[in-house]
């Protein structure tokens, strides 16, 4: 049984904290957290991502970006990343964790899966598209867990 989920992206200020909040809302029996491969440690959720999250009823106000490390990977039953590249990076550095790492977008695109693009420093439309993908992906995971 999955009781602990870790959501990982690059900076831990756009995608992973929002996805973690979505999953936590949908899976209240799980402990959901997030971290970044190259985290902007101590920063809150990027303002555009935060506005979209809050408009969706998510509270990300207390989030502070944190760096991914072996301890977080060990504590998680499931690790959700945004891309195949991130899965590979985790596997290269922490091979013991690779068996529980999957893409957040694994169930999207009619089961073919897809990466969730990084909207950082991009247009409002990019943030909106990413938010929609995060919402769809977290909904799919919640139905399966």
The predicted-structure confidence for 38-65, as pLDDT tens digits, reads as follows 999 999 999 999 999 999 999 999 999 9
Distance CA 13, CA 16 (A): 7
- The DSSP output letter for 67 is B
Q: Is 118 a catalytic residue?
A: yes
> Which residues, including other chains, have CB under 8 Å from residue 50's CB and lie 6 or more apart?
44, 60, 61
Sequential DSSP letters for 40-65: -TT----HHHHHHHHHTT---TT---
- The answer to whether the beta carbons of residues 131 and 19 sit under 8 Å apart is no
Please pick, among 30, 77, 118, 122, the residue that the annotation labels catalytic: 118
Residue 30 falls in the annotated catalytic set: no
pLDDT tens digits, one per residue of 71-124: 999 999 999 999 999 999 999 999 999 999 999 999 999 989 999 999 999 999
Q: Which CATH class is domain 4-137?
A: alpha beta
pTM as predicted: 0.96
15 catalytic residue (yes or no) = yes
Annotated catalytic residue within 9, 66, 103, 114: 9
Mean of the per-residue pLDDT values of the chain = 97
Say which of 10, 15, 66, 87 is annotated catalytic. 15
Supply the pLDDT for residue 111.
Answer: 86
């Amino acid at each position: 049984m999955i009781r602990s989920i870790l959501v990982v992206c690059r900076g831990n200020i756009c995608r992973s904290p929002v996805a973690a909040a979505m999953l936590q809302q949908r899976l209240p029996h799980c402990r959901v957290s997030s971290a970044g491969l190259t985290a902007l440690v101590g920063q809150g959720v990027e303002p555009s991502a935060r506005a979209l999250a809050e408009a969706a009823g998510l509270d990300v106000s207390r989030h502070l970006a944190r760096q991914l490390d072996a301890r977080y990977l060990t504590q998680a039953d499931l690790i959700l990343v945004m891309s195949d590249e991130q899965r590979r990076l985790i596997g290269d550095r922490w091979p013991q964790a690779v068996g529980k790492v999957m893409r957040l977008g694994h169930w999207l695109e009619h089961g073919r899966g897809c990466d969730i693009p990084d909207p950082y420093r991009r247009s409002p439309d990019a943030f909106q598209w990413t938010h929609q993908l995060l919402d769809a992906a977290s909904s799919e995971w919640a139905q399966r867990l």
